[in-house]
């Protein structure tokens, strides 16, 4: 089966592979961000440092959204223009952006100097697995931390492991009892962190971590762990 990139996929794309897919059951940061902005009756413009699909989602929900620039100047003198604030910007969204650069960081930090500007974050991964090399690449969390440090602002986390994101997922799935949810993931800080923050039961799949790494995270100890989802088949087939 061809893998699906949820940073680019919309409902029509996913339905090519999953006939039973219901977009209303999909909970990802871009959807949570759009719903949050609706909940606060947001009327201004969003500055988005994220993947293109996030901007598509925001615009499809009726929000004005600007992005970029994707190109950076060759010298620091070219960065001064990005220190100019735009009063029309009322929210900064920081998520996975593979074209993040100095101008985008400058613009985000500049807008966030106004305390009324809403600061929303999606992905918090500081490092992401690189499947072709087996190594780790820098994740969105590294750059979000720069903005947090320089703006002296804490974002509303609408991605893992944010409690608000977990509660949004529960509401979207019409679930009221967090203890009845089994959250399955393969990242300790993001997946198990979300489960603990929201009160879910957690199952850690040991795809990207070892038992040694798990032991180092005593505060984020999963309720269950397994080598792979496939290893659970024998157990599930008994019921």
pLDDT per residue as tens digits for the range 117-156: 999 999 999 988 787 777 888 999 999 999 999 999 999 9
Cβ neighbors of 14 (< 8 A, separation 6 or more) are 4, 6, 21, 23, 26
Provide the residue ranges of all domains of the chain, joining segments of one domain with +.
11-157, 178-236
pLDDT tens for each residue of 20-58: 656 667 889 999 999 999 999 999 999 999 999 999 999
Four-residue CA torsion sign, 161, 9, 105, 33: negative
Domains 11-157 and 178-236 share a fold: yes
Mean pLDDT value across the chain? 88
CATH topology of domain 11-157: Rossmann fold (3.40.50)
Tell me the CATH number for domain 178-236: 3.40.50.1000
pLDDT tens for each residue of 74-110: 999 999 999 999 999 999 999 999 999 999 999 999 9
Alpha carbon distance 209, 137 (integer Å): 15
């Amino acid at each position: 089966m061809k893998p699906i990139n949820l940073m680019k996929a919309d409902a029509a794309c996913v339905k090519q592979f999953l006939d039973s897919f219901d977009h209303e059951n999909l909970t990802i940061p871009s959807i949570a961000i759009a719903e949050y902005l609706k909940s606060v009756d947001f009327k201004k413009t969003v500055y988005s440092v994220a993947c293109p699909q996030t901007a598509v989602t925001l615009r499809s929900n009726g929000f004005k959204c600007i992005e970029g620039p994707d190109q950076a100047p060759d010298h620091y003198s070219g960065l001064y223009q990005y220190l100019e604030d735009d009063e029309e910007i009322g929210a900064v969204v920081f998520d996975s952006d593979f074209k993040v650069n100095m101008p985008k960081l400058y613009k985000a930090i500049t807008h966030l100097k106004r305390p009324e500007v809403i600061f929303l974050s999606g992905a918090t991964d500081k490092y992401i697995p690189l499947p072709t090399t087996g190594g780790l690449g820098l994740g969105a969390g590294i750059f979000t931390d720069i903005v947090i440090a320089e703006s002296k602002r804490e974002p509303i986390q609408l991605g893992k492991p944010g409690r608000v994101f977990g509660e949004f997922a529960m509401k979207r799935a019409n679930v009221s009892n967090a203890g009845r949810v089994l959250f399955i993931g393969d990242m300790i800080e993001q997946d198990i962190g979300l489960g603990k923050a929201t009160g879910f039961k957690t199952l850690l799949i040991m795809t990207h971590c070892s038992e040694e790494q798990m032991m180092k995270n005593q505060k984020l100890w999963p309720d269950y762990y397994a080598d792979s989802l496939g290893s659970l088949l024998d157990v599930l087939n008994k019921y």
